[in-house]
Each structure stands twice: as structure tokens, then as C-alpha cells.
């Protein structure tokens, strides 16, 4: 399976009638089992790009080839849960075929056991994000799209979930596109990092990381970090 993205342009028209160019021409592809990471300044167009890639926004110039019949798991930047459904119902609605055992495992991993019958209005943002992750994982996706999924989680939980994402990708050859502002998450998870310019986003640099995820030692990660440290690659 392969995802091919070739966007030649995307503009938004403001309420006042002005047009804003959000995406410049950009092109990349992802293979099964690969994690591509998008890193770029706030407002550069990352979420816009994800919506286009998912087919939720068709108002752009270019072409996106998604694998046919791919099951898609998506974590939006805001958790977007149905407020009138419980945590468990939110996940089951998205993944009606998921077994009870599979859901139980996900709720355990994401530490949501105590919250299954709670409603989204009763959750903290970090809890709601975990529910959104459970929902995306429950569909057993072929294409997983994650828009800053680890924001507002404490360090320990974010580290664990990062490892869970890596495990999921390894177990099912999931093709993953991850947006993050964390260089650390990017180099621990990514196979290919795409550094984006300020709006309109274009790919300033594509950095492949050839060491398999599971084999990246702290020393090697430090080396990768040093290699990326020189401007203009720092996105923060
Ligand atoms: N529906 C819309 N109508 C008009 N402009 C929009 C719309 N959605 C986004 N924009 C504008 O497009 C630009 C890119 O927005 P986008 O949400 O894609 O950025 P982002 O890279 O995801 O930022 P962040 O890191 O803060 O999430 C911004 O300038 C934003 O104001
Ligand atoms: Mg965004």
C-alpha cells in the first residue's frame, strides 16, 4: 500500500473575500509500515494538509492517491467526540466490529477503564485525547493520521502512548502520518521527517531516518538531534 500526495496549491477565501495561500506545491509518498512526520510552525497549513489527504477537503489543486479500501484511523487536533455518547459508545460507534477483548485492551493501555461510562463533557482534555486515540486504534487502521495526538498529556503517559503507536505500526504495517511540534517524538517515531516552511507550507527538507525505530539507541537519537539542530530546520 502506498499513499501519494501531490498538492499544487490550496487557498482559503476569508469572509472579507481575500484569498490566503495556505499550501504551496508539495509532493511526498508513504509506504505501508512507514511513519511520516510533519513538523512546521503553527498556522503553516498542517491540519489543512491532513484534511486534504483524508478526502475531507476537496477544494484544492493537485492529487492524492489513497490506498483503495484503506481503513482510516484519525485523531483530529481537537478530540471531536460525540458529546451525547459515553466514552465506550464513542469508540464502539467508530469501530462496530471491534471485539470486547480488543476494546478492553485499548482502554487498559490508554488508562481509560474508569471512564468508559463517562461522557465527553466530564473528561479533561488529556482524557478526551486518549479516547480519540482509542477510537482511531479500534478501527485497526491501514492509514493512521494523527494531528498532535500527544499534546496535553503528561510526559510519562505521552512516552507510553508514543511506544504504543510504534507497536501498533509495527504489528499491522500501518501507514502513519503524524503532526507534532516535538522534535523528540519526531525522531523517536518517524521514518521520514518533513520540515515545513511557514504558510504557505512547502517541504523545506525531507529527512529520512534509516535506523529501524526499535533499534534507535539514546546515543543515535542524540546524533540525529545534533544533525537537525542547525537552522532553518528547528521548527520551534
Ligand atoms: N476554514 C478555514 N477558512 C479560512 N482559513 C483557514 C481555515 N482553516 C484554516 N485556515 C487558515 O489556514 C492556515 C493554516 O491553518 P492550519 O490549521 O492548517 O494550520 P496548522 O499548521 O495546522 O497550525 P497549528 O500548528 O496551529 O495547528 C491558517 O492561517 C489558518 O488561519
Ligand atoms: Mg493544526
The band of 168, judged by pLDDT with boundaries at 50, 70 and 90, is confident
State yes or no: pLDDT of 113 exceeds 90.
yes
- In the chain, the percentage of residues whose pLDDT exceeds 90 is 76
Across the range 10-22, mean pLDDT stands at: 92
Report the alpha-carbon distance of residue 156 to residue 25 in Å, rounded.
38
Nearest ligand to the C-alpha atom of residue 13: 1
The ligand that comes nearest to the alpha carbon of residue 15 is 1
Pocket test for ligand 1, best of 48, 54, 177 (most atoms within 8 A of CB): 48
Quote the pTM value: 0.92
- Other residues' Cβ atoms within 10 Å of the Cβ of residue 62: 15
* Residue list, ligand 1 pocket, CB within 6 Å: 12, 22, 42-48, 77, 199
Name every residue whose Cβ is closer than 8 Å to that of residue 223 and which is 6 or more positions away in sequence. Answer: none
What is the per-residue pLDDT for 73?
Answer: 94
**Arithmetic mean of pLDDT, 127-151:** 93
At the fourth CATH level, the homologous superfamily of domain 30-60+69-234 is: P-loop containing nucleotide triphosphate hydrolases (3.40.50.300)
Mean pLDDT, range 66-80, rounded to an integer: 91
Q: Is the pLDDT of residue 227 over 90?
A: no
Smallest-distance ligand from the CA of 76:
2
Q: Where are the domains of the chain?
A: 30-60+69-234
In angstroms, the Cα distances linking 219 to 185, 212, 214, 222, 226 are 16, 14, 14, 5, 11
Quick: pLDDT tens for 173-200. Answer: 889 999 999 999 999 999 999 999 999 9
Q: Which residue's CA is minimally distant from atom 14 of ligand 1?
A: 45
Read off the pLDDT of each residue in 150-163 and give the average, rounded to a whole number: 88
Measured from the Cα of 51, ligand 1's closest atom is 18
For the segment 91-97, the average pLDDT, to the nearest whole number, is: 96
- Lowest average pLDDT, out of 4-8, 24-28, 164-168, goes to 164-168
The model's confidence at residue 57, banded by pLDDT at 50, 70 and 90, is very high
Per the prediction, the chain carries an average pLDDT of 92
pLDDT of residue 43: 95
User: For residue 231, is pLDDT > 60?
Assistant: no
DSSP 180: -
The percent of residues above 70 in pLDDT, for the chain, comes to 97
From atom 30 of ligand 1, which residue's Cα is the shortest distance away? 43
Query: Measured in angstroms, how far is the CA atom of residue 12 from the centroid of ligand 1?
Result: 9
Q: Which atom number of ligand 1 is nearest to the Cα of residue 181?
A: 25
Which whole number is the average pLDDT over 112-122?
Answer: 96
β-pairing verdict for 35-39 and 192-196: parallel
Q: Vertex 184, ends 180 and 189: CA angle to 5°?
A: 70
Q: How close is the Cα of 160 to the center of ligand 2, in Å? A: 23
Q: Please report where in the chains the cell 509500515 appears, as a residue.
A: 33
| Residue 230 confidence (pLDDT) | 62
More confident residue, 152 or 118: 118
pLDDT at 169 over 60: yes
pLDDT grade for 235, boundaries at 50, 70 and 90: very low
* pLDDT at 55 > cutoff 50: yes
In this prediction, residue 234 carries a pLDDT of 47
Amino acid at each position: 500500500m502506498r499513499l501519494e500526495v501531490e498538492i499544487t496549491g490550496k487557498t482559503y477565501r476569508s469572509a472579507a473575500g481575500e484569498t490566503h495561500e495556505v499550501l504551496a506545491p508539495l509532493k511526498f509518498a508513504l509506504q505501508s509500515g512507514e511513519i511520516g512526520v510533519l513538523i512546521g510552525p503553527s498556522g503553516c497549513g498542517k491540519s489543512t494538509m491532513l484534511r486534504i489527504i483524508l478526502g475531507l477537503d476537496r477544494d484544492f489543486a493537485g492529487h492524492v492517491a489513497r490506498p483503495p479500501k484503506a481503513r482510516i484511523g484519525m485523531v483530529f487536533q481537537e478530540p471531536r467526540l460525540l458529546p451525547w455518547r459515553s466514552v465506550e459508545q464513542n469508540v464502539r460507534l467508530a469501530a462496530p466490529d471491534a471485539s470486547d477483548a480488543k476494546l478492553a485492551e485499548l482502554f487498559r493501555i490508554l488508562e481509560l477503564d474508569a471512564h468508559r461510562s463517562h461522557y465527553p463533557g466530564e473528561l479533561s482534555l488529556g482524557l478526551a485525547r486518549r479516547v480519540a486515540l482509542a477510537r482511531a486504534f479500534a478501527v485497526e487502521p491501514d492509514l493512521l493520521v494523527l494531528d498532535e495526538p500527544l499534546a496535553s498529556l503528561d510526559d510519562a503517559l505521552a512516552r507510553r502512548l508514543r511506544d504504543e503507536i510504534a507497536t501498533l505500526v509495527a504489528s499491522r504495517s500501518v501507514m502513519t502520518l503524524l503532526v507534532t511540534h516535538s522534535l523528540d517524538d519526531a525522531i523517536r517515531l518517524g521514518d521520514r521527517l518533513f520540515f515545513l516552511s511557514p504558510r504557505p507550507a512547502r517541504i523545506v527538507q525531507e529527512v529520512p531516518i534509516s535506523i529501524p525505530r526499535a533499534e534507535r539507541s539514546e546515543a543515535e537519537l542524540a546524533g540525529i538531534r545534533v544533525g537537525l539542530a542547525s537552522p532553518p530546520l528547528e521548527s520551534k
